[in-house]
Amino acid sequence: MTGTIEDKELGRLVVRVNPRARRLTFRTKTDAVYVTVPPGTTAKEVRHAIESLRRKLRAAQQRLPDQRRIDLDFRIDAPFFKLSLVNGQRDKFLAHSELGEMKIICPPTAGFDGEELQEWLCKVIEEALRRNAKNILPSRLYMLSNQHNLSYNKVKINSSRGRWGSCSAKKNINLSYFLVLLPQHLIDYVLLHELCHTKEMNHSDRFWDLLNSVTNQKAFELRNELKGYKTEF
């Protein structure tokens, strides 16, 4: 079975056959629920699976971020990363990226509703964020480490959407490339937060006292300000 199912509660479900699939799998996205099925799957089997997973699918939809569609009106204007989409003359998309800035040149008759195009645009933007983060964050972390005598082992840049950063017991620091979408003072707050974990691997009073001491007694103020931002664009 392939095609689209319109469900009153779940909305649009797009069913696709994958010859390599061994079971039914569901992916919940902002525009639809995508169902991958093995060859020979019947409509009855698909509907039975939907009913058995209905509660979980609805919960997954409620957890989805309110992601904006990427089109000619889409902009990112952060201090360390700026993005714009503009009309061009060619019949294909072109991405031009420099440190701190990216421009996507679109065909004059481009439509932006397709899932594959949206996924490609997200991937291109996220790769640009990763490159920028690798240029900006490690050197800033090194500077703050020396300034406050908080040593670490290694630093890695990842695509985490759940955490801005983390620090392991071996003093290895992981940083989300979404950090480059923050203002400078909040980037520094996250970096200092993780550096303080190299001394205090918890969120005890001693940890917050240390973080306060390296943020001019603004740790809680900065923490609350950071809550207004999300690891997404």
Instruction: Give tens-digit pLDDT for 127-140.
Output: 999 999 999 999 99
Share of the chain above pLDDT 70, in %: 97
- Looking at the fold, whether 189 and 124 belong to one and the same domain comes out as no
- Looking at the fold, whether 11 and 56 belong to one and the same domain comes out as yes
Number of domains in the chain: 3
Which residue in the block uniquely carries the two structure tokens 């997200």? Answer: 122
Instruction: At 40, list the tokens.
Output: 């020979």
Of 129, 148, 163, which closes a domain?
Answer: 129
Residue range 210-217: mean pLDDT, rounded: 96
Kindly provide the residue ranges of all beta strands, DSSP E only, lying in the chain, ordered along the sequence.
3-7, 11-17, 25-28, 33-37, 75-78, 81-87, 94-98, 101-106, 155-158, 165-167, 173-176
Helices (H), 68-150: 115-148
Give the separation between CA 195 and CA 206, rounded to whole angstroms: 14
pLDDT at 173 over 90: yes
- Looking at the fold, whether 159 and 180 belong to one and the same domain comes out as yes
Q: What is the number of other CB atoms lying within 10 angstroms of the CB of residue 25?
A: 13
Question: Mean pLDDT score of the chain, rounded to an integer?
Answer: 89
Evaluate whether residue 94 is within a structural domain.
yes
Could you tell me the maximum CA-CA distance found in the chain, to the nearest angstrom?
64
- Looking at the fold, whether 49 and 119 belong to one and the same domain comes out as no
Give the separation between CA 144 and CA 215, rounded to whole angstroms: 11
pLDDT of residue 99: 84
Of 63, 85, 115, which closes a domain?
Answer: 63
pLDDT tens string 13-60: 889 999 888 889 998 877 678 899 999 999 899 999 999 999 888 888
Evaluate whether residue 69 is within a structural domain.
no
Give the separation between CA 114 and CA 127, rounded to whole angstroms: 20
- Looking at the fold, whether 120 and 139 belong to one and the same domain comes out as no
The Cα angle at residue 94 between residues 93 and 98, in degrees rounded to 5: 150
Evaluate whether residue 233 is within a structural domain.
no
Evaluate whether residue 68 is within a structural domain.
no
Give the domain range for residue 34. 3-63
Q: How confident is the model at residue 155 (pLDDT cuts 50, 70, 90)?
A: very high
